[in-house]
């Protein structure tokens, strides 16, 4: 290892790195981004990977843990947006940094004494850095947004942000939340932060609410372009733009939906879930944990698993709106981990709920729960996300056809002359000078 490190170039302390995650950015968005002034500026002066294969389940929190670690969920431990809390109407999310079981880009940057900012980056609650605005909502004994933000963000930094920019907020509604995040990002960039990790959710919110290709979604992309433009202008005014490297990335794609699959109701009626007379969960031997377009099934033992699999014949799957059942070797190929026994994939137009009280297994979608969702099989060719890089140390003019989400962390490590042992991805060297 010492020999390997000896051949690396020393870290250039003038260099700055800005990683912006545009939640729900799709491969198909590339051509539209090329028409926007600030995205096109980075694209024309950098390189693009047109199709990025996400991870399974392709939902925000596992994806962002993968971006930080270069590992699949079976290694980093973030296997869903939500913790597995059967019977809980609103389960807690994987909010906290200590849930991640692998070394991250944040850890590497800290070892190199880099100044780091994380702005609503998923799975960073409680991360011990100077500039951390954790993406976390009220839960448990902490009933207010202020209390959870104070406890699990960088307290002084959070207070300054809310005092200075809190007027931009309307709860977590968009575009107000991302406007607030951008203002906070501009503040830390003024303070010569070396690594900024910025998570923007405007596009994801618009696609959930209005549809994958809705005009509202493209308006969100225009707003993202304006936000990016403000960052570029600031760095130009500070004379640090030429020393800055940008990674702009998506985490997952999106699909429109028409129907909900209440798979736990099916498990209930087949005696895998037992309820009290008033409809509350008493016990289970198999329980579904939704990931929108896919679903994790946790079972108590092999006998239960085999009995459940025997029910999933072709007719039943078709009736339920289920496209595929993954188990054993096929499940292992996705590297989902966490002892998940069965994974279900919804047909296009369908998505899963955790509802175990419904009288029907499949019903017309409730638009208040979103008209488009993610979580589908990332290996499908029409379900890819996007990545492009620009600035210092980045090749210009390349359009690479494909990479994997797990390749982002190794590529960043190569850029800063560092390595993390045990990553699943590989550096996309042609992106780097």
Domains of the chain: 2-254+381-431 (3.40.720.10), 256-373 (3.30.1360)
Q: Is 202 in contact with 174 (CB distance < 8 Å)?
A: yes
- How many Å apart are CA 50 and CA 400, to the nearest integer? 6
Tens digits of residue pLDDT in 212-258: 999 999 999 999 999 999 999 999 999 999 999 999 999 999 999 99
Between the CA of residue 153 and those of 61, 258, 325, 415, what are the distances in Å?
Answer: 17, 38, 39, 28
Q: How confident is the model at residue 337 (pLDDT cuts 50, 70, 90)?
A: confident
3-state secondary structure of 277: coil
DSSP string for 122-154 = TT-BT--SSEEE-----BTTB-SHHHHHHHHS-
Report the Cα–Cα distance between both ends of the chain, in Å, rounded: 24
DSSP H or E stretch at residue 226: helix 215-237
pLDDT at 4: 42
Per-residue model confidence (pLDDT) at position 228:
98
Q: Give, in order, the Cα–Cα distances in Å from 216 to each of 13, 180, 268.
A: 41, 19, 39
Which residue, among 184, 222, 185, has the nearest Cα to 203 in the 3D structure?
222
β-strand pairing of 349-352 with 255-261: parallel
The stretch 166-180 carries a mean pLDDT of: 93
Averaged pLDDT for residues 301-320 = 97
Model confidence over 247-288: pLDDT tens digits? 999 999 999 999 999 999 999 999 999 999 999 999 999 999
- Interatomic CA distance for residues 432 and 69, integer angstroms: 19
**Quick one: pLDDT band at residue 140, thresholds 50, 70, 90?**
low
Give, for 297, the enclosing helix (H) or strand (E): strand 294-299
Give residues with Cβ within 8 angstroms of 126, minimum separation 6.
96, 97, 98, 134, 152
Is there a contact between 153 and 176 (Cβ–Cβ < 8 Å)?
Answer: no
- Share above pLDDT 90 across residues of the chain, in percent, rounded to a whole number: 89
Mean pLDDT of 390-402: 98
Give the pLDDT of residue 144.
Answer: 73
* Stronger pLDDT, 156 or 140, i.e. the higher one: 156
Segment 30-40, tens digit of pLDDT: 999 999 999 99
pLDDT in tens, 144-153: 777 788 889 9
- Say whether pLDDT at 143 is over 80: no
Strand pairing category for 46-53 and 385-391: antiparallel
- Look at residue 89 and tell me whether its pLDDT is greater than 70: yes
142 pLDDT higher than 90: no
Cis peptide before 175 (omega within 30 of 0): yes
């Amino acid at each position: 290892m010492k020999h390997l490190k000896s051949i690396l170039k020393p870290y250039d302390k003038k260099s700055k790195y800005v990683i912006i995650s545009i939640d729900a950015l799709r491969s198909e968005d590339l051509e539209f981004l090329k028409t926007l002034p600030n995205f096109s500026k980075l694209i024309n002066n950098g390189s693009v990977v047109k199709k990025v294969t996400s991870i399974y389940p392709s939902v925000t929190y596992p994806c962002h843990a993968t971006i930080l670690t270069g590992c699949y969920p079976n290694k980093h431990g973030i296997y869903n947006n939500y913790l597995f809390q059967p019977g809980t109407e609103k389960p807690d999310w994987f909010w906290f940094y200590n849930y991640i079981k692998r070394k991250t880009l944040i850890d590497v940057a800290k070892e190199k004494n880099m100044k780091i900012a994380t702005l609503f980056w998923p799975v960073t609650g409680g991360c011990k850095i100077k500039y951390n605005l954790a993406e976390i909502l009220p839960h448990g004994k902490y009933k207010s947004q202020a209390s959870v933000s104070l406890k699990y963000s960088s307290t002084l930094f959070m207070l300054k942000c809310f005092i200075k920019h809190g007027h931009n907020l309307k709860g977590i509604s968009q575009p107000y939340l991302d406007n607030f995040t951008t203002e906070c990002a501009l503040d830390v960039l003024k303070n010569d932060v070396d690594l900024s990790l910025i998570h923007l959710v405007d596009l994801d919110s618009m696609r959930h609410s209005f549809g994958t290709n809705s005009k509202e979604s493209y308006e969100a992309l225009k707003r993202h372009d304006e936000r990016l433009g403000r960052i570029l202008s600031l760095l130009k005014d500070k004379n640090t733009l030429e020393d800055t490297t940008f990674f702009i990335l998506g985490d997952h794609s999106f699909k429109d939906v028409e129907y909900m699959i209440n798979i736990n109701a099916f498990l209930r009626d087949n005696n895998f879930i037992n309820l009290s007379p008033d409809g509350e969960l008493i016990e289970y031997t198999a329980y579904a944990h939704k990931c929108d377009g896919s679903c994790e099934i946790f079972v108590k033992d092999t006998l239960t698993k085999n009995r459940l699999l025997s029910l999933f014949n072709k007719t039943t799957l078709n009736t339920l709106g289920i496209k595929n059942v993954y188990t054993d070797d096929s499940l292992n190929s996705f590297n989902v981990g966490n002892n998940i026994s069965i994974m279900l994939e919804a047909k296009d137009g369908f998505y899963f709920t955790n509802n175990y009280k419904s009288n029907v297994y499949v019903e017309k979608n409730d638009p208040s729960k979103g008209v488009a969702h993610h979580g589908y099989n990332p290996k499908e060719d029409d379900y890819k996300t996007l990545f492009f890089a620009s600035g210092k140390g980045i090749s210009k003019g390349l359009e690479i056809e494909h990479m994997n989400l797990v390749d982002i962390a190794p590529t960043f490590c190569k850029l800063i002359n560092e390595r993390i042992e045990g990553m699943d991805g590989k550096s996309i060297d042609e992106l780097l000078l």
